């Protein structure tokens, strides 16, 4: 990204102001990027653990496979998924507060005795599945936020700050050269004036 500037004092002041803004913001962006990277790593571990847990729960219920033909699926359904939000390094992230189920009425006398265990098993598996999906969604949001923050950090650190410093250096060098040239011109003009004055005095 080329920094647009002019070789004058106003442009120099503007660039200096922009440079200071970016240098002040840099530590905050660095700490945000670091916090998001750590949170992404932690959430990845959490997502992997939930996937493993869900697989184990599915394996554990395989012994009841033959019985599920007798089960009525309408007995249990998800009624509500409670969410809240919290900020991680300034990024709003949803938090899963719980899952509520609706259990339909059934006769304890006429239904098979394992229905109660079956309902509890389905609740556990559904909770784990929802939590795993939710954690993957959270991970996507965190990774997007971290990528944006890393891009901004790289833009400031590798492009804009060096670009502003270079532009400021060029303007200062130009102004110093102009000042030296102006002083030299004044010296030459004074010397010429003195020569003319000396000649006039002799005449």
pLDDT digits 0-9 by tens, 140-150: 999 999 999 99
Q: How many domains does the chain have?
A: 1
For residue 62, give its domain range: 9-193
- Domain-located, residue 201: no
| Domain at 123, CATH number | 1.10.287.3240
How does residue 183 score in pLDDT terms, banded at 50, 70 and 90?
Answer: confident
- Domain-located, residue 176: yes
* pLDDT reading at 118 higher than 90: no
The chain-wide mean pLDDT, for the chain, equals 85
The lowest-confidence range among 120-129, 146-155, 194-203 is 194-203
Extract the tokens encoding 76.
Answer: 């249990």
Dist CA 187 CA 185 (whole Å):
5
Per-residue pLDDT reduced to its tens digit, 38-53? 999 999 999 999 999 9
| Contact yes or no for 29/152 (Cβ under 8 A) | yes
pTM strictly above 0.85: no
- Domain-located, residue 131: yes
Give the whole-number percent of the chain exceeding pLDDT 70: 92
Dist CA 5 CA 96 (whole Å):
50
Dist CA 17 CA 174 (whole Å):
19
- Domain-located, residue 23: yes
């Amino acid at each position: 990204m080329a920094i647009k500037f002019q070789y004058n004092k106003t442009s120099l002041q503007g660039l200096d102001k922009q440079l200071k803004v970016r240098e002040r913001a840099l530590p905050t962006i660095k700490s945000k990027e670091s916090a998001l990277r750590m949170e992404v790593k932690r959430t990845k571990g959490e997502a992997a653990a939930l996937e493993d847990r869900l697989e184990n729960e599915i394996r554990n219920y395989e012994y009841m496979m033959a019985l599920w033909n007798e089960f009525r699926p309408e007995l249990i359904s998800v009624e509500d998924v409670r969410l809240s939000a919290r900020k991680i390094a300034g990024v709003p992230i949803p938090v899963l507060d719980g899952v509520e189920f609706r259990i339909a009425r059934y006769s304890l006398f006429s239904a098979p005795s394992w229905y109660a265990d079956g309902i509890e098993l389905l609740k556990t598996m559904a909770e784990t599945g929802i939590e795993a999906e939710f954690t993957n969604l959270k991970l996507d949001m965190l990774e997007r936020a971290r990528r944006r923050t890393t891009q901004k950090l790289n833009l400031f650190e590798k492009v804009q700050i060096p670009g502003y410093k270079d532009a400021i250096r060029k303007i200062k060098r130009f102004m110093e050269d102009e000042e030296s040239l102006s002083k030299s011109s004044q010296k030459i003009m004074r010397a010429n004036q003195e020569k003319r004055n000396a000649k006039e005095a002799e005449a």
